[in-house]
Structure 1
Amino acid sequence: MISQFNFPTKIRFGAGVIAELPAYLKDNNLSKPLVVTDPNVANLPFFKQIIQDLIAKGISTEVFSDIHKNPVKSDVYKGDEAYYGTHRDCIIGIGGGAAIDVARAILLRINHREDLFKYDDLIGGDVYVTNDVPHFITIPTTAGTGSEVGRSAIIADDETHQKKILFSPKLLAKIIFADPMLTMDLPPFITAATGMDALTHNMEAFVAKNWHPMCDGIALEGISLIHDSLEKAVNKPDLEARSKMLIASLMGAVAFQKGLGVVHSLAHPLSSLLDTHHGLANAVNIPYGMKFNIAGFEDKFKRIARTLNLKDESGEAVVQYLFDLNSKINIPHRLRDIGVKSEHIETLADLAIADFAHPNNPKPVSRDDFRNLYLEAL
């Protein structure tokens, strides 16, 4: 069943809803989209079908897919050149978090011509986002980041690898076409890694220190949906499991406006330094990060345990659940199994303490804490 809801932007959700895209563009007098995706999605049959359907309806379509799996500023500048060089009138982001982040950063770049990182939200750059932006549409193909409903893009510096946040309500999509059919052919590893990314968003948002009861409720429901569906989506996928994961991913991205925490600050340096898949980095680190947060926040973990239907309603049981879930979906338990070496630890700790996520962790995290967490997980 295809349905529509708004939170906060318009979301068209359901199997086959992607077929509405050409008519939506025509109804809004849009005929020259820049379609931003990643190199892998660009070669998949469903993506080629989307492009063929647009062209068949007389819509001039330009595809930009020259992006890194962990996006950098130069990706955005190349996309900006593609937009202006081919005279586009709107932007469609199709894919996972990397593609949609780049699409959103290109959206900002079109009418904001200062250095991209002048608009970094972490230094108050959002106040400079004052001009209009092109019409923006997002179409998720993974159930992970939930970037499709977001207002921000995370882009790294090409040289320093430090991640920057580009943020503004202007960067919300006008409409989201969330079609679980587009996720049906994801390979098990990507389904697992992106699914654990969604779980990390919901779980970290719930324990984050800021007060936002609406996000707390959304996060708990997201955790419940992932508990019900992730293992099946990875190992025996069907439309119901894929649909639940896609909804849970959307919910995680809404919930984490409350904040994230130590797990993301452990994960981001792995992506920027070692080019580790973001979802995989979160997946390996989440048991260790959640263990770090238990003391002093036992009531929060008791509520998570109840949501997971655990017999032992404790933080320790939640951590064990996370290790067990990783095993069931073939995610390794150790950083050494995803390419981290002892000689990386000091640099990783430096990057982690400089990361933007951990200030919202429920308890402070020092550089020594990060170093010790990396060593524990190694």
Structure 2
Amino acid sequence: MAERIVLNKISYHGSGAITEIANELTARGLKKAFICSDPDLVKFGVTQKVLDVLDHAKIPYELYSNIKPNPTIENVQTGVKTFQNSGADCMVAIGGGSSMDTAKAVGIIANNPEFADVRSLEGTAPTKKHAVFTIAVPTTAGTAAEVTINYVITDTEKKRKFVFVDTNDIPEVAVVDPEMMSSMPKGLTAATGMDALTHAIEGFTTKAAWEMTNMFHLEAIRLISKNLKDAVQNKPEGRKGMAMGQYIAGMGFSNVGLGVVHSMAHGLSALYDTPHGVACAIILPTGMEYNAECSGDKYRDIAKAMGVQGTESMSQAEYRQAAVSAVRKLGQDVGIPANLKGILKEEDIQFLAESAFADACCPGNPRDTSVKEIAALYRSLL
């Protein structure tokens, strides 16, 4: 069986990297940019850093910011119409997963109008054309949406998050500039960082994992474990390490999938508007315990990458517990709640379990699961 790796054509990394945006657009002869960025980033001047680059290069643009934290079908539909009326010939997505996922969906539908019904893109979409040329600029160190072939849109009517997987949606260019992340508050830094760790750990243990993605994921686990606490304190080296760690995690999981932790987290975000990173962070240790028996010796590698000493002399039970404990301790250190108390309602568990089982991430879980077992996992977190 052939393994596949899909990555950006070009990526830029490091402080000041956003200056390359104008160079990339100009070199391609592109005339007008459609900017996707969420309202808070616009309000607090983060988006303006990129707009200043475009202004200096005299590249016209239109700003679209009708984007919710968990972007909806309506956000996408409105975005498609706005893009079509803008006269733009390219896109620049500035933000976290919300902005970039919205841009992906808009760009795909703009070039594949037969998929105007957003729901028709769920799962692995058979689109024929690549999305509108896109440069993605992350402002959070977590989602890695700038390097993935996935995007997630919320269906408020059905109270579900839909996962879309399409090689045609990956941005051609990623610009990962840690200075764009410096204004993230502590809570968001912690949550998105733990989301990145979840990507790395689920990607490392998923059924489709292989040598190249294992390499990415272990280095991502090491970088995130080493740098997250400093990033939460807004230390430059921590920001730099997290920017790289989350991107490398995306290089891996985008190509091999995730697991039950993400499946369960998607439902919480759709139903309660729980921040995705917070949901992942709370569920991750429990998901790891659930999957431990199907992990072989991978938890020893996870524990070692997280800085646990003496893993080579540990028994299987000991290094598995050490990996789970290291993840739980990191979450506690950066202020992640210990459980879903105050978020999850007992009466919603059956619906959430059914949604998680139907989620596109679920089949990749290393342990075959069921609605009943997922419901038990939710209950264990009350």
- Please indicate the TM-score interval, normalised by the length of the shorter structure: over 0.9
2:121 is matched with which residue? 120
Would the aligned equivalents of 2:140 and 2:181 in 1 still touch at CA under 8 Å? yes
285-294 or 129-138, larger mean C-alpha shift = 129-138
Alignment of 1:161-200 (within 5 A): 161-200=159-198
2:372 is matched with which residue? 368
- Count how many residue pairs are aligned between Structure 1 and Structure 2: 368
Cα distance between partner residues in 2 of 1:41 and 1:204: 29
1:85 is matched with which residue? 85
> What SS does the aligned partner of 2:341 have?
helix
Q: TM-score, normalised by structure 1?
A: 0.93
**Cα deviation per residue 1:185-226 (whole Å; 9 max; x = unaligned)?**
110000000000000000001111124211011100100001
1:3 is matched with which residue? none
Would the aligned equivalents of 1:305 and 1:312 in 2 still touch at CA under 8 Å? no
Query: How big is the shift at 1:162?
Result: 2.7
260-269 or 167-176, larger mean C-alpha shift = 167-176
Give ranges in structure 1 of 5+ residues lacking alignment. Answer: 1-5
1:73 is matched with which residue? 73
2:250 is matched with which residue? 253
Alignment of 1:189-268 (within 5 A): 189-234=187-232, 236-256=233-253, 257-268=255-266
Would the aligned equivalents of 1:9 and 1:149 in 2 still touch at CA under 8 Å? no
Q: Which amino acid aligns with 2:61?
A: T
Cα distance between partner residues in 2 of 1:39 and 1:9: 29
Would the aligned equivalents of 2:291 and 2:366 in 1 still touch at CA under 8 Å? yes
Q: 1:105 to 1:287 in 2, by over 3 A?
A: same
Q: Percent identity?
A: 32
Would the aligned equivalents of 2:225 and 2:330 in 1 still touch at CA under 8 Å? no
Q: Which amino acid aligns with 2:329?
A: D
Query: How big is the shift at 1:336?
Result: 1.0
Q: Which amino acid aligns with 1:373?
A: L
Would the aligned equivalents of 2:18 and 2:53 in 1 still touch at CA under 8 Å? no
Would the aligned equivalents of 2:21 and 2:135 in 1 still touch at CA under 8 Å? no
99-108 or 256-265, larger mean C-alpha shift = 256-265
186-195 or 208-217, larger mean C-alpha shift = 208-217
Is residue 274 of structure 1 aligned with residue 272 of structure 2? yes
The one of 315, 327, 332 aligned to 1:327: 332
CA RMSD after TM alignment:
1.8
Would the aligned equivalents of 1:119 and 1:167 in 2 still touch at CA under 8 Å? no
The one of 306, 313, 321 aligned to 1:316: 321
Cα distance between partner residues in 2 of 1:185 and 1:358: 34
Query: How big is the shift at 1:161?
Result: 2.7
Query: How big is the shift at 1:322?
Result: 1.8
Give ranges in structure 2 of 5+ residues lacking alignment. Answer: 1-5, 312-318
Cα distance between partner residues in 2 of 1:152 and 1:309: 30
> What SS does the aligned partner of 1:295 have?
helix
> What SS does the aligned partner of 1:336 have?
coil
Q: Which amino acid aligns with 1:237?
A: N
26-35 or 309-318, larger mean C-alpha shift = 309-318
Would the aligned equivalents of 2:289 and 2:324 in 1 still touch at CA under 8 Å? yes
Query: How big is the shift at 1:145?
Result: 0.8
Q: 1:311 to 1:52 in 2, by over 3 A?
A: closer
Would the aligned equivalents of 1:144 and 1:195 in 2 still touch at CA under 8 Å? yes
Is residue 111 of structure 1 aligned with residue 108 of structure 2? no
Cα distance between partner residues in 2 of 1:67 and 1:179: 22
Q: 1:165 to 1:269 in 2, by over 3 A?
A: closer
Query: How big is the shift at 1:7?
Result: 4.4
